[in-house]
Amino acid sequence: MMNASKIKGTSNRVMTLNMGPQHPATHGVLRLELELDGETIVKATPIIGYLHTGVEKHSEAKTWYQNIVQYDRLDYLAPAMNNMSYVGAVERLLGIEAPPRAQAIRVILLELTRIKSHLVWLATQAMDLGAISVFLYCFRERETIIKIYEALSGARMMQSWICPGGLRGDIPDGWDEQVRSFLVEFPDRLREYRALLERNPIFRARTRRVGYISNEESVAYALTGPTARASGVRYDLRDNRPYEGYENYDFEIPVRTDGDVYARYRVRIEEMIQSRLIALQALDKLPGGSVKADHPLYVAPPREDIHENMEALIRHFKFYTSGFKVPKGEVYFATESGKGELGFYIISDGGEKPYRVKVRAPSFTNLSILPRIAPGHLISDLVAIIGSLDIVLGEIDR
Amino acid sequence: MDDVEKKNILDFIRNLIGSNLINSAQDCEGVDVAIIDRNSLVDVAKSFRDNPDLRMRHLSFVTAIDRIDMEKLLYAVYEFSSLDDDRRIRIKVPVVAKDPWVPSITSIFPSANWHEREMMECFGIEVRGHPDPRKLLLPDWVTEKPLRKSFPSGGDELWAFHEKTIEMFNEKGDYAGSIDDDWLERFNE
Amino acid sequence: MGKRGDVVMQSSGKPLKYLETRSGIQIPPGVAITRLDESINWMRKFSVWPVSLGLACCAFEMMSASASRYDIARFGSEVFRASPRQADLMIVAGRVSWKMMPVVRQVYDQMPEPKWVISMGACASCGGIFNTYAIAPGVDRILPVDVYVPGCPPRPEALLQGLLLIQEKLQKSKVEYI
């Protein structure tokens, strides 16, 4: 493992190469300006902003309920996580809590989303390193999870199913069997992927001792998520600041100290195994009751009531047209997304629209360590490193 | 135990900077919010990182709030937390709209680098001492500060902004208008 | 030479018949008569190779369309070329910000003729749910779009239908002879 101080430039010719925003191996529209000495990187500068959407400004123009839909599109691989962070923050501002059944279903949805996000990570990382079959296999798994989402909400990717007070609706019949059958066969599939990759000498040579991030660097650059846990930083928001009943579930947090690409791979694989255990526990202990909190102002009435009850009809109308007013205050609520600490800092001035919404995206902070660890590597190692940081440009650029 | 430790952070800041701690409050979850003067921001950040009792080593984000309409102030917000337990504190630095600058804490917390760049371009708060004050998310030709309340968030004024950009593209002719002229000259030498 | 109705026996035992055109020409079996345009278009439409310009969420439905469940390769789009100079079709999948517009235009300009553009998703067609300062209201501000596929994100089958519409358009288009 080399660092920049060991490079002796025998000639002073450093070449600037642009790995442009349209590139098959940068995960999205990431542009890298590389200064190369031969094939070795001397300096790497990420240039971002090609997917900047202005979500934070747009949030100030839409009501609290309308905003839920656009945050799905930030980290588009794990839409339920973004939902959960925003809705959790709004619930804390409102001072309401979701009922236990809603919390359990939320946990199932979140853990399935975490598995799906890690599967897409595995697919793209393996494809970048040349193992294209793993891409096709992981997308087969992803299709199974997407069918579960579609049975619940009708949408394949952007469900927006979590709303303040609970969920938008209850689970359909047979949904828990569908989830259970996926979770039961998942370990065998995972064993297949691991057998394809971990015993492959090319994969090991391309990922071991590549892209080393030390413990101090990880803390100084505020890395979170599996990237930090592979460098020995034991920080998981499901454990440090539990939410949605995570303190009731029994799971481990995988931490490794190697800090290279292979360690990050192993941490994510083990996280998938633990996510499956959490989802099974939540499924087994699924409590009964309703999925919406009984709060007249902040939660829409159940659909059956609006056919019978005039008050429910008026509530439904007012809720979906003018929305609700959130009391004055501010909150920062962060959850453990598949990529790290995903937080929403929301300020309300008592109106129907937020005053300020700041999205703390984990990939934004995780990518900022790239200029520090890239020098000394070859370009093909850089591709492995970017894959292991697991970035999503939607949440970096917001 | 938690109350004692939380009081400790505010007390610690009060002991450190004295009257530069302008105010303190709590947010809706009970997390402390300390409003401090910008000249003591660097000292507070250093003690958060180095003091062995505090150990608030994790900087979650740096952002800003636009309160120019109400208080003629912008606030720069810093969220610190501890990695070992669940202690948190939020620091707000009020900045006058006519002279908006804050010192940079990138040398103490390297994770603030990109957050401060984004704050600079979106809000117009100059971060003094930043090693790389270029634009991060916005394209190079944008001069307005979009996240200020004075920038339109919809309607006809926003459409005028789009029309201006389309006109600029049409005038430039070649759409890849970001090629530097110096670079072309060097290439042709 | 035979006449219409004559039957020729193949060695496998299956009979083939002579056909007749309107003007009376007898066509022996195994021969097809068509215009050059139609045959060139028929060959082109079954090997339309897209360039990978997946920008945001729609890119993942595009990747699902190219994965094994909704296989796009059975319609001829076997590979997604990384280089625009080797591609025929540009699928703009995702929201296009103003910073990205010159890049999209440059990728389009680098593609050789004949080329087509599918605007996939609501954001590429009209700006989608984002009415903000940074997102362009539709990629057709600077590119000529052939097919718009609505959805947020559109299902992979919707993208495949968009591809079939491109193939229909291709079949009817005029071929340029240099």
Three-state SS across chain A? CCCHHHCCCCCCCCEEEEECCCCCCCCCCCEEEEEEECCEEEEEEEECCCCCCCHHHHHCCCCCCCHHHHHCCCCCCCHHHHHHHHHHHHHHHHCCCCCHHHHHHHHHHHHHHHHHHHHHHHHHHHHHCCCHHHHHHHHHHHHHHHHHHHHHHCCCCCCCCEECCEECCCCCCCHHHHHHHHHHHHHHHHHHHHHHHHCCHHHHHHHCCCCCCCHHHHHHCCCCCHHHHCCCCCCCHHHHCCCCCHHHCCCCCCCCCCCCHHHHHHHHHHHHHHHHHHHHHHHHCCCCCCCECCCCCCCCCCCCHHHCCHHHHHHHHHHHHCCCCCCCEEEEEEEECCCCEEEEEEEECCCCCCCEEEEECHHHHHHCCHHHHCCCCEHHHHHHHHHHHCCCHHHHHC
The pLDDT score that the predictor gives to residue B180 is 45
Q: Looking at the partner chain, which of C103, C106, C133 has a beta carbon nearest the beta carbon of B161?
A: C133
Residue (of B138, B107, B96) closest to B120 by Cα position: B138
Residue B61's beta-bridge partner residues?
Answer: B79
Q: Are A92 and B28 in contact (CB under 8 A)?
A: yes
Cβ contact (<8 Å) for A235 and B29? no
CA distances from A314 to A93, A310, A320, B27, B98 (A): 24, 6, 10, 33, 48
Contact C136, C151 (CB under 8 A): no
C146 CA: distance to closest CA in chain B (Å): 21
Judge whether residue A300 has pLDDT over 60: yes
| Distance of alpha carbon B57 from alpha carbon B80, whole angstroms | 7
Domain ranges in chain A are 98-295+363-397
Test B175 with C133 for CB contact under 8 angstroms.
Answer: no
Retrieve residue B23's tokens: 């105010």
**Residues of chain C below pLDDT 70:** 1-5, 20-22, 178
Percent residues over pLDDT 70 in chain A = 96
pLDDT of residue A132 exceeding 90, the answer is no
**Whose CA is closest to B12, among B91, B112, B70?**
B91
- What mean pLDDT comes out for the span A138-157? 91
* Contact in structure between B22 and B37 (CB atoms under 8 Å): yes
pLDDT band at residue A263 using 50, 70 and 90 as cut-offs: very high
Element (H, E) at B170: helix B155-172
Local structure of C98: helix, strand or coil: coil
Answer yes or no: are the C-beta atoms of A161 and A153 closer than 8 Å: yes
Contacting chains of B (3 CB pairs or more, <8 Å) are A, C
| Cβ(A144)–Cβ(A171) below 8 Å | no
| Segments making up each domain of chain B, as ranges | 2-137, 152-189
Check the CA dihedral A114-A117-A121-A127 and report its sign: positive
What is the CATH code for C44-166?
A: 3.40.50.12280
Q: What one-character DSSP code corresponds to residue C112?
A: P
Average pLDDT over residues A199-226: 90
Give the residue from A310, A321, A150, A240 showing the smallest Cα distance to C64.
A150
**Cis amide leading into A371 (omega within 30):** no
User: Which residue, chain included where needed, has tokens 């996240």?
Assistant: B147
Closest-CA residue to A395 (of A355, A347, A348, A338): A338
Nearest-Cα distance to chain C for B179, in Å, is 11
Which chain C residues touch B if contact means CB-CB below 8 Å? 98-99, 101-103, 105-106, 109, 131-134, 136-137, 141-142
**What pLDDT is stored for residue A343 in this prediction?**
92
Burial of C48 (0-12, 13-18, 19+ CB in 10 A): buried
Cβ neighbours of C110 (radius 10 Å):
14
- pLDDT, residue B186, reads 47
Residue B5: predicted pLDDT? 54
The domain A98-295+363-397 belongs to what CATH superfamily? Cytochrome-c3 Hydrogenase, chain B (1.10.645.10)
Q: Determine which helix (DSSP H) or strand (DSSP E) holds B61, and give its type and residue range.
A: strand B58-67
Whether A22 and C95 lie within 8 Å, measured CB to CB: no
Which run of H or E residues covers position B60? strand B58-67
Nearest-Cα residue of chain C relative to residue A157: C153
When the pLDDT of each residue in chain A is averaged and rounded to a whole number, the result is 88
For the cut 90, the answer to whether the pLDDT of residue A265 exceeds it is yes
Query: What is the dihedral sign for C-alpha A296, A300, A306, A311?
Result: positive
Q: Is the Cβ pair A54, C133 closer than 8 Å?
A: yes
- The Cα–Cα gap between B42 and B65 comes to 20
C60 touching chain A per CB within 8 A: yes
Average pLDDT over residues A135-158: 91
Interface test with B, best of A50, A52, A63 (most B CBs within 10 A): A52
d(CA A391, CA A370): 11
> Is A139's CB within 8 Å of C52's CB?
no
Is B58 close to A364, i.e. CB distance below 8 A?
no
Is B169 part of the contact surface with chain C (CB cutoff 8 Å)?
yes
* A-C C-beta contacts closer than 8 Å: 96
Instruction: Decide if B60 contacts A343 (C-beta within 8 A).
Output: yes
* Interatomic CA distance for residues C68 and A140, integer angstroms: 7
Q: How far is B8 from chain A (nearest CA, A)?
A: 20
Nearest residue to A341 via CA among A245, A233, A232: A233
Q: Answer yes or no: is pLDDT of A179 > 90.
A: yes
DSSP C154: P
Number of Cβ atoms within 10 Å of the Cβ of A145 = 18
Between the CA atoms of A48, A52, A56 and A62, what dihedral angle is there, to the nearest 10 degrees? -170
Residue listed under structure tokens 């530097």: B180
User: For residue A169, what pLDDT is reported?
Assistant: 86
User: For the residues A134-144, what does the mean pLDDT come to?
Assistant: 91
Res. A363 pLDDT band, cuts 50 70 90: very high
Supply the ipTM of this predicted assembly.
Answer: 0.88
Per-residue confidence (pLDDT) for residue B23, from 0 to 100: 81
Exposure string of A106-137, with b = 16+ CB inside 10 Å and e = fewer, is bbbbbbbbbbbbbbbbbbbbbbbbebeebbeb
The answer to whether B35 contacts chain C (CB < 8 Å) is no
Helix axes of A379-389 and A261-284: crossing angle, nearest 10 degrees: 20
φ/ψ (deg, to 5) at B50? -95, -30
Residue C52: beta bridge partners? Answer: C91
Q: What pLDDT, on the 0 to 100 scale, is given for residue A10?
A: 55
Q: Does domain B2-137 have CATH number 2.60.260.20?
A: no
Q: How confident is the model at residue A275 (pLDDT cuts 50, 70, 90)?
A: very high
Could you give the angle at which helices B2-17 and B41-50 cross, rounded to 10 degrees? 130
pLDDT of residue C1: 59
Domain boundaries for CATH 3.40.50.12280 within chain C: 44-166
Spans of chain B below 70 pLDDT: 1-7, 173-189
Residue A71 confidence (pLDDT) above 50: yes
| B166 close to C (CB below 8 A) | yes
pLDDT score for B98: 86
- Contact across the interface for B111 and A221, Cβ inside 8 Å: yes
